[in-house]
Structure 1
């Protein structure tokens, strides 16, 4: 059974969602403020976090940022806010999905399962494969048809960018760099197929869950965040290049 950490101060909504999730087989714990939610993260070790935007002690985006400093667990923000700019702010803060109140319980379950499934498949716990370490130099010389999971990939010591799909971690110049689920998936596409031009729609299909709210604007936000994390000068990117009118491509250095 999967575990859900719900950070929600509204007792009516919290009790209703908790009851519904339990009926669907989830193990649920609920915290009513951001500080308690952050504290429960390591102890409860959830598979998914349902996070309210408005909390009594701190806003949900601040909680999201704090969680992203130590964990890549999928986060779904649930809020009365429904403007596109607010949804984009949630993605920038590290959220993987966003639902506006009021919402359908059936949709909530579908999205929760989608986020957990994507996360588990990506780290190999539900998928029957041995995932490789992906690196720019090891992959750049291989044809697209050869991009298949392998037990291991030799990576030279001077490697500049390295992805480990088992731990969902990225290292740039040997230094660990935190990524959200969507950022890692986009980077995995880029490293798998250097030089290939990805349209925004291509990248949408990579990060989209079941009916998840993901827009082309969100893709631009993810790209901007990745550039801040890997580029020496994000305003003059050398690795992630814009192909005007089409999308983006990755150029190994």
Structure 2
């Protein structure tokens, strides 16, 4: 049974989410503030976190960043904030998806299913090299970049780099096809399939985060290259 941690202070919304997800056969734990959320994260080790951005003891974006520092668990932000800047801030803080209130429970369930599925099992897309993908992919250039596909981890010069599952999927796809240009639509489909909403801007944010983690000079990347007007490619 997959475990869901809900960090939501509104009693009505929190109870509604808990009841619905319990009926969908999830094991649900709820926290009403950020401090409780961090404690439950360690105690429960959930498969996904549903995070409200407006909490009584801390800003949800800061909490998202704190969770990402200690865990790669998928984070789905569920918020009343609808501005594009709020979405971007959440993605930059490490969120994997963003759902605005009000929302349909069916959409929520679809997004949770997609996030958990892709975090547990690497996406198999038409762009993937084959079903017989090796356990490790090693790239050499000015840096030694290793992808451990079984453990879903990235190492740069033998140093572990923490990535979200979305960042890992982008990195896996690019590294498996060096020199091939992927447009944003292809990357969106690789991340989510067709059952969750992701914007072009979200892809750009994930690429920016990856560059910060693997490049010596993120503003002048040598590996994750922009192909202007098209998309991105990986060079060794």
Same fold (TM over 0.5): yes
Q: 1:170 aligns with which of 154, 169, 174?
A: 154
- Residue by residue over 1:189-239, the C-alpha shift from the partner in whole angstroms, topping out at 9 and shown as x without a partner, is 111011111111111111125542311111111111111111111111111
Paired position in structure 2 for 1:76: 76
**Which residue of structure 2 aligns with residue 49 of structure 1?**
49
Q: Closer, same or farther in 2 for the Cα pair 1:108/1:153, shift >3 Å?
A: closer
Q: Distance in 2 between matches of 1:145 and 1:74?
A: 25
Q: Is the 8 A contact 1:111 1:210 kept in 2?
A: no
Is the partner of 1:58 in helix, strand or coil? Answer: coil
Aligned mates of 1:42, 1:15 — CA distance in 2: 22
Q: State the partner residue of 2:105.
A: 105
Q: Does 1:64 align with 2:64?
A: yes
Residues 231 and 237 in structure 1, CA contact (< 8 A), matched pair in contact too:
yes
Q: CA deviation at 1:115?
A: 1.0
Question: For residues 29 and 209 of structure 1, do their structure 2 counterparts lie closer, same or farther at Cα, with a shift above 3 Å needed?
Answer: farther
Indicate conservation of the 8 Å contact 1:115/1:209, yes or no.
no
Q: For 2:215 and 2:200, locate their aligned partners in 1 and report how far apart those are by CA, in whole Å.
A: 22
SS of alignment partner, residue 29 of structure 2: strand
1:212 aligns with 2:212: no
Cα deviation, residue 85, structure 1: 2.0
Whether the aligned pair in 2 keeps the contact of 1:111 and 1:209 (CA below 8 Å) is no
Aligned counterpart, 1:139: none
2:228 to 244, 249, 252: 244
Structure 2 CA distance for partners of 1:153 and 1:186, relative to 1, 3 Å: closer
TM-score of the two chains, using structure 1 as the length reference: 0.86
1:201 corresponds to: 185
**Per-residue deviation at 1:157?**
10
SS at match of 1:81: coil
Change (3 A) 1:146 1:92: same
On the 8 A contact 1:77/1:90 being kept in 2, the answer is yes
SS of 1:29's equivalent in the other structure is strand
Report the counterpart of residue 216 of structure 2 in structure 1. 232
Determine if the alignment matches structure 1 residue 4 to structure 2 residue 4. Answer: yes
* 1:76/1:95 contact within 8 Å kept: yes
Describe the SS at the equivalent of 2:66: helix
- Highest CA radius of gyration, 1 or 2? 1
Q: Is the 8 A contact 1:114 1:210 kept in 2?
A: no
Residues of 2 paired with 1:102 and 1:148: CA distance?
42
- Distance of aligned partners of 1:58 and 1:145 in 2 relative to their CA distance in 1, 3 Å threshold: closer
Q: Which runs of 5+ in 2 are unaligned?
A: none
Match of 2:29 in 1: 29
Structure-2-length-normalised TM-score: 0.91
| Aligned 8 A contact 2:179 2:234 in 1 | yes
SS in 2 for 1:148: coil
Unaligned runs of 5+ in 1: 128-143
Aligned Cα RMSD in Å? 2.2
Distance 1:218 1:236 in 2: 20
SS of 2:20's equivalent? helix
Q: Indicate the SS of the match to 2:95.
A: coil
Residues 153 and 216 (structure 1), Cα distance of their counterparts in 2 relative to 1, 3 Å cut? closer
